[in-house]
Amino acid sequence: MGKVIMYSVVSVDGFIADENDHPGPLFDWYGNGDVPLDASGEINVSRTSYDYIRPYWDQIGVTIVGRHVFDLTNGWDGTPPGGVDHVVVVTHRPAPESWPAEAPYHFVDSVEAAMTRAQELAGDRVVEVAAGDVGGQLLAAGLVDEVRMDVVPVVLGAGKRYFGSVDTQHLLDGPDEVVQGNRVLHLRYQVRRG
């Protein structure tokens, strides 16, 4: 079974989007380099950021997201982002009526069911958990092994929190890795057990 990693880009004050679900300047660093991060050619980062992110992205077999993210992105039009093989969506609603049955998306009704399905699909590859409410629920349930964040030098002041509605203390070890990119700081922590 692969690692479970919670991940997102985050402001220095801990938000992954503003109150209207807009990332604002959080993604600006995706265009401040000259190295394409994926095949789209739309994301160009510094060599340092590429060397940190691309090997991680290549390990991801499944991404878990909530229905809110799925709806905001229109499910990335049926193609999982970043070359991921499958997306597991936590939702109490069925897939949209026009959703293509062949799309590698799996709709489940709880974070526990999401983790079970994601680990079946990922095998020994990484299960990535999108930060936010679903990520916070999985962290609170003790199902996250590692936290990765790309911290951007902006203060949003309010919005969608990286750890969602987590309201109890969780200790992290490390940081295990600190990499300074161009207007972004890449951090990696292990979740402390017991």
Residue positions counted in the chain: 194
- The three-class DSSP label of residue 189 is strand
Within 13 A of 65's CA, how many CA atoms are on the CB side? 20
Say which DSSP state 97 is in.
Answer: T
| pLDDT score of 156 | 97
Give the span between the Cα atoms of 97 and 99, in whole angstroms. Answer: 6
Backbone angles phi, psi at 81, to 5 degrees: -70, 155
**10 Å Cβ neighbour count for 42?**
10
Q: Which domains does the chain have, with CATH numbers?
A: 4-191 (3.40.430.10)
The residue whose two tokens read 């629920």 is 137
Structure tokens at 12: 């220095």
Helix (H) or strand (E) holding 36: strand 35-36
End-to-end CA separation in angstroms for the chain:
20
| pLDDT score of 62 | 97
| pLDDT score of 81 | 85
| pLDDT score of 193 | 85
Listed in sequence order, the residues at least 6 apart from 157 whose beta carbon sits closer than 8 Å to its beta carbon are 13, 15
Whole-number Cα distances in Å, 73 to 20, 54, 106, 115: 14, 22, 16, 21
- What's the pTM? 0.94
Sheet with 60-66: list strands edge to edge: 105-108, 86-90, 60-66, 126-130, 4-11, 146-152, 185-191, 172-180
Per-position DSSP letters for 117-183, written without gaps between them: HHHHHHTTSEEEEETTHHHHHHHHTT---EEEEEEES----SSEETTTT--S---EEEEEEEEE-SS
Report the DSSP beta bridge partners of residue 87.
Answer: 63, 105
Q: What is the pLDDT along the chain (194 residues), one digit of tens a residue?
A: 889 999 999 999 999 999 999 999 999 999 999 999 988 888 999 999 999 999 999 999 999 999 999 999 999 999 898 889 999 999 999 999 989 989 999 999 999 999 999 999 999 999 999 999 999 999 999 999 999 999 999 999 999 999 999 988 999 999 999 999 999 999 999 999 87
